[in-house]
Amino acid sequence: MELPRRLLITLAVAVLPSSPVVAYAQAAPALPTLPVRVLVESPAETQTDLQIFCLFRSSPENALHGSLSEIDEKLHGALTQIRSPKLFGGELGETILLTPPAGALGAKRVLIIGLGDSSSFSPQRMYLAGKIGLREANRLGVAHPFFAPTVLDGGVTGFSTGEVAEQVVRGFRDALAAEALLRGTSVASAPAVIDFTFLAGATHAAETQAGIDRALGRPPARAR
């Protein structure tokens, strides 16, 4: 399948204090910003040090579609092989880190985050996925990680990509705010993450941008 043409949208994600604790820490350094770039590209094709995507709980009805199927094929069925309760069950918040063989994927490492049961999924789960994604990228020392929700490719179609993106970016924002607060008390080092690339399908880029804008409290962009 021919990949869609790249569409880059640069978005500045401001980390806003959302709790009394953060707002009260006046001695802490200024809260950082996290640029987020929306890119129309398959996670099977990304060139990055760390590609993050999500999987629902392993079960027969949760077949791999789209980019997930592409990734599985390029990894010679590795996703299919690990998707079991005893290996990687896809439980909410469960993670596994893969290092693909050279040349198999453009990404040097792949972090998979579990989303739990697909039948009861709601976009609010992506808030936790966003937090985990940012914190794990920091722990791995990756400056420019990529994130793909892969909710649609996981077979769940009842929610807009904007709803999903909004929750992911809220997770990015709050995880980064927590790290800024900890640095202010000298118990954390500077974050490794400089920016995030958020992957979206060609027909969902504007929706994804709108969701990120909502997470930041911005007014919706005017139609051209």
104-151: pLDDT as tens digits:
999 999 999 999 999 999 999 999 999 999 999 999 999 999 999 999
CA separation for the pair 7, 49 (Å, rounded): 20
Residue 124: strand, helix, or coil? coil
**Of 138, 139, 145, which Cα lies nearest the Cα of 108?**
145
Tokens of 151: 């909710």
Q: Are 90 and 125 in contact (CB under 8 A)?
A: no
User: Where are the alpha helices (H) located in the chain, listed in sequence order?
Assistant: 20-24, 66-74, 78-82, 125-140, 161-184, 205-215
**Of 58, 43, 74, which Cα lies nearest the Cα of 155?**
58
Tokens of 169: 């970016």
Please state, in angstroms and as integers, the Cα–Cα distance from residue 33 to each residue in 26, 67, 162, 180, 220, following that order: 17, 30, 21, 10, 20
Q: Are 141 and 192 in contact (CB under 8 A)?
A: yes
pLDDT value, residue 27:
47
Give me the CATH code for the 8-15+33-215 domain, please. 3.40.220.10
pLDDT value, residue 9:
41
CA separation for the pair 157, 173 (Å, rounded): 25
In percent, the amount of the chain with pLDDT more than 90 equals 63
The CA-CA-CA angle for residues 169, 170, 174, to 5°, reads 115
Any idea what DSSP says for residue 156? -
CA separation for the pair 157, 143 (Å, rounded): 31
pLDDT value, residue 90:
95
Q: Are 45 and 4 in contact (CB under 8 A)?
A: no
Question: pLDDT tens digits, residue range 40-55?
Answer: 999 999 999 999 999 9
Q: In what order do the strands lie in the sheet with 33-40?
A: 8-14, 33-40, 196-200, 146-148, 50-55, 109-114, 95-98
**CB-neighbour burial class of residue 49 (10 A; exposed 0-12, middle 13-18, buried 19+):** middle
Any idea what DSSP says for residue 132? H
**CB-neighbour burial class of residue 218 (10 A; exposed 0-12, middle 13-18, buried 19+):** middle
Question: pLDDT tens digits, residue range 58-81?
Answer: 876 778 899 999 999 999 999 999
